[in-house]
Structure 1
Amino acid sequence: MADQLFAAQSRIKIAMVAGEASGDLLGSHLIRALKARFPDAEFVGIGGPKMQGVGLKSVFPMETLAVNGYVEVLKNLRAILRIRRDLTDQLLADRPHVFIGIDAPDFNLGLERTLKAKGVTTIHYVSPSIWAWRGERIKKIKACVSHMLALFPMEPPLYQQAGIPVTYVGHPLADEMPLVPDLAAMREQLDIPLACRVIALLPGSRQSEVAALAETYINTAKLLSEQVPNVLFLVPLVSRETRALFEATLYRLQAQALPLRIMFGHAHDALIAADVALVASGTATLETALLKRPMVITYKVSPLTYRLMWHRKYLPYIGLPNVLAGDFVVPEILQDDATPANLAQALTNMLDHNRVVDGLQAKFMDIHLTLRQGTAERAAEAIAAYLPHAH
């Protein structure tokens, strides 16, 4: 009886919070890796279907946290704050051995600060981009976080300098993606002739991004269809809403006759099949680099937002491939410069210069190998050091 009581008391409890789909995927991989070390561990917190599918007991719906944009956050602010308060109370009443906040810094750092002040070990998985802008956040992070798990190699020195324990774990996308994607096999799968010149158009995953970029992308495709023989455009869109926005712009611009195939998701398939890609800045640029495809990066936001962010940024580039390479290895054509003529010219340059493309793919391979670290296992190893009976 005493042995059973001790076993119940010593069961490892791990609390986790993911705020959106990308965090849910990261969290599911991490839970699997932790279960391999601690098969009887209990996982509680907030997560989506992937984390719940591998054993997380989600005490609040993740969808409440998965909002983007100032207006949407303000609309949901009362509910979000109530969830954070109630979750904090639950975790302090039934304390976990460790709390892991997966990305979602606006929600998780405040929760971590309270828990850490009460003696709970707090680990943050995915560093905020302090290397890009708002580096002063590192002081707040130090008060919130017992240990940082960093996805990119330029991040650990920043935390070490600030006296924050940190582990570089690499990027999970680098573990998932093939080192040498098979263009010919993907063309066959998608029923696209090898003789086609295929250009992938990725205007973003959010409605606001597609609304800002769709017209520019379509007008760029119009120019390219006149200049590039046998061209085909692949447009992967992640939701019905973004697809509806893009199709409405096609009709408004009377561009339905373009050689263009809209895909529901399957961005990786589109990129593998492509000769070159036009990509909205964000994680998609990293995905494109890991799939070894030459790209042109573009983005448009409101003029006020652009001015505010431009003056506060620390690096001359915004695209992750350029940040990781430490140089402008791919073009970034932003804001007012992002005209259809400029974008079409930059894409045509890449289509016609095999030597440039070969050099680019070699740099992308270096990035891939640097980021391919077995992320979930590395993260689990770092977390295990804070758990009882760690080996």
Structure 2
Amino acid sequence: MSSKRLLTVALIAGEASGDLLGAHLIEAVKQHYPNCRFVGIAGPLMQKAGCESLYPQEALAVRGFVEVVKRLPSILKIRNGVVSQLKQMRPDVFIGIDAPDFNLGVAEKLKAAGIPTIHYVSPSVWAWRRERVNKIVHQVNRVLCLFPMEPQLYRDAGGKADFVGHPLAQTLPLQPDQEAARRQLKLEEAEQVITIMPGSRVSEIDYMAPIFLETVPLILREYPNAQFLIPAATTATRERLVKMLESEYYKRLPIRVMSAHATLACVASDVVLVASGTATLEVALCKRPMVISYKISALTYRMVKHKIKVPHVGLPNILLGKGVVPELLQHDATPHKLAGAVIHWLNHPEQVQALQDDFTQLHQTLQLNTDELAAKAVLEEAKVVW
């Protein structure tokens, strides 16, 4: 294919973590093939990198069975619409970034129409519903995996998969500078800094933020001079958090809501209270102790509990193969238990040092040239000579 020909790359990212992956991928593809159009469903980072968004990304950011059912008609309308538009555009390749429940359905229809398809970020098939592997290898031409144990599962099923490392491991330094982060955030005088990360979706904020915010006064009893940061992933989540903090119960608390800058907040912190998900890996790569928590509707929890096949749900614990950080989930996700776990880290600096050694080892395992490897796979599927 001539490098002068316009290459069209379609991408769909369903939430903030996918938006970050997509933005890095777009920049890497442009380095090798500048004459490229990017189109699909994109968040602010992908749009800034040059991707045209056909629908708002926030419309896809829902979690849990019950929540998805409520929004199903609008989600299906978006999926049908984007499939129809992409079939007309005939992109050279389609990349679904995470959000497998949405993206794999799109990929299946586009692949059937003769458009090469990639799924970027393997679903957690090693954790639950492993039988999905057989279906996925028929829905997409290739899977790009962030973790080293994943590709073999797809190859065993006759599919094509690559371990590309994790982009956060590529971009974050092995030795984060806490003092510099505190200076940048004007926190030099703070005795303890605790970052709160209740999720990247509005629905997660609604579930997790009240529990996390109720934890703050309990920590302040033990550490009255502590400061709290909440980096909001999107404008919508920031607005929801700011509204919560306007209540009489919360407004006097020493909490600063930030627009993005999650990494900076993590590096500046002594401890991070974080909702289970991709953010837990970001905290680990910042070498910070954390308390992982999550809570979903009772119905959703009953439906998924028996399908989970691993002893841990937090990515750092899964990847290291041991419970290095506490996980307080569902009924254990109470302010008193969360506060106790945060205070434990503050009281035991020797345990923090051992944890940081584990996290450094994990960082080195995941540290490949992710953007370059992912871009290579995209251009290969688009039949561009690398």
Q: TM-score range by the shorter chain?
A: 0.7 to 0.9
Change (3 A) 1:256 1:165: same
In the alignment, which residue of structure 1 is the partner of 2:156? 161
One-letter identity of the residue aligned with 2:71: V
Change (3 A) 1:107 1:329: same
CA distance in 1, matches of 2:43, 2:255: 34
Q: Is the 8 A contact 1:127 1:150 kept in 2?
A: yes
Unaligned runs of 5+ in 2: none
Seq. identity, %: 48
Change (3 A) 1:189 1:324: same
In the alignment, which residue of structure 2 is the partner of 1:82? 80
Give the secondary-structure state (helix, strand or coil) at the position aligned to 2:128. Answer: coil
**Segment of structure 1 superposing worse, 348-357 or 212-221:** 212-221
1:168 CA displacement: 0.6
Instruction: Map Cα deviations across residues 332-385 of structure 1 (whole Å, 9 max, x no partner).
Output: 011222222222221121112122101111111112122221111011222333
One-letter identity of the residue aligned with 2:291: V
Give the secondary-structure state (helix, strand or coil) at the position aligned to 1:257. Answer: coil
Instruction: Map Cα deviations across residues 88-125 of structure 1 (whole Å, 9 max, x no partner).
Output: 5315xxx4443322223233322322333344322211
In the alignment, which residue of structure 1 is the partner of 2:278? 283
**Segment of structure 1 superposing worse, 221-230 or 49-58:** 49-58
In the alignment, which residue of structure 1 is the partner of 2:365? 370
CA distance in 2, matches of 1:7, 1:173: 33
Instruction: Map Cα deviations across residues 136-194 of structure 1 (whole Å, 9 max, x no partner).
Output: 22122111111111111221121122121111111112222222221112222222235
1:349 aligns with 2:344: yes
Instruction: Map Cα deviations across residues 241-278 of structure 1 (whole Å, 9 max, x no partner).
Output: 54555455556563443333333333222211111111
CA distance in 1, matches of 2:245, 2:13: 36
One-letter identity of the residue aligned with 1:122: T
RMSD of aligned alpha carbons? 2.8
1:54 CA displacement: 4.4
1:44-59 matched pairs, under 5 angstroms: 44-48=39-43, 50-56=45-51
1:28 CA displacement: 3.0
Give the secondary-structure state (helix, strand or coil) at the position aligned to 2:118. Answer: strand
Give the secondary-structure state (helix, strand or coil) at the position aligned to 2:216. Answer: helix
Q: Is the 8 A contact 1:67 1:73 kept in 2?
A: no
CA distance in 2, matches of 1:260, 1:205: 18
Q: Is the 8 A contact 2:147 2:166 kept in 1?
A: yes
CA distance in 2, matches of 1:364, 1:173: 13
TM-score, with structure 2 as normaliser: 0.88
1:16 aligns with 2:14: no
**Segment of structure 1 superposing worse, 39-48 or 265-274:** 39-48
In the alignment, which residue of structure 2 is the partner of 1:310? 305
Q: Which of 146, 166, 169 is the matching residue for 1:171?
A: 166
Q: Which of 195, 198, 202 is the matching residue for 1:200?
A: 195
1:328 aligns with 2:326: no
Instruction: Map Cα deviations across residues 26-82 of structure 1 (whole Å, 9 max, x no partner).
Output: 233223322333344454544455445545455x23448534241553241453143
In the alignment, which residue of structure 2 is the partner of 1:70? 68
One-letter identity of the residue aligned with 2:331: D
One-letter identity of the residue aligned with 2:381: Y
Give the secondary-structure state (helix, strand or coil) at the position aligned to 1:167. Answer: strand
1:129 aligns with 2:124: yes
CA distance in 2, matches of 1:204, 1:26: 17
Change (3 A) 1:378 1:301: same
CA distance in 2, matches of 1:64, 1:280: 18
**Segment of structure 1 superposing worse, 253-262 or 311-320:** 253-262
**Segment of structure 1 superposing worse, 112-121 or 312-321:** 112-121
CA distance in 1, matches of 2:210, 2:40: 41
TM-score, with structure 1 as normaliser: 0.87
CA distance in 2, matches of 1:196, 1:8: 56
CA distance in 1, matches of 2:97, 2:120: 5
1:7 CA displacement: 5.5
1:319 CA displacement: 0.8
1:219 aligns with 2:232: no
One-letter identity of the residue aligned with 2:174: L
Change (3 A) 1:122 1:369: same
Q: Is the 8 A contact 1:64 1:80 kept in 2?
A: no
Q: Is the 8 A contact 1:64 1:76 kept in 2?
A: no
Q: Is the 8 A contact 1:220 1:340 kept in 2?
A: yes
Q: Is the 8 A contact 1:197 1:229 kept in 2?
A: no
Instruction: Map Cα deviations across residues 275-328 of structure 1 (whole Å, 9 max, x no partner).
Output: 111111112211111111100111111222122222111111111111111111
CA distance in 2, matches of 1:14, 1:255: 45
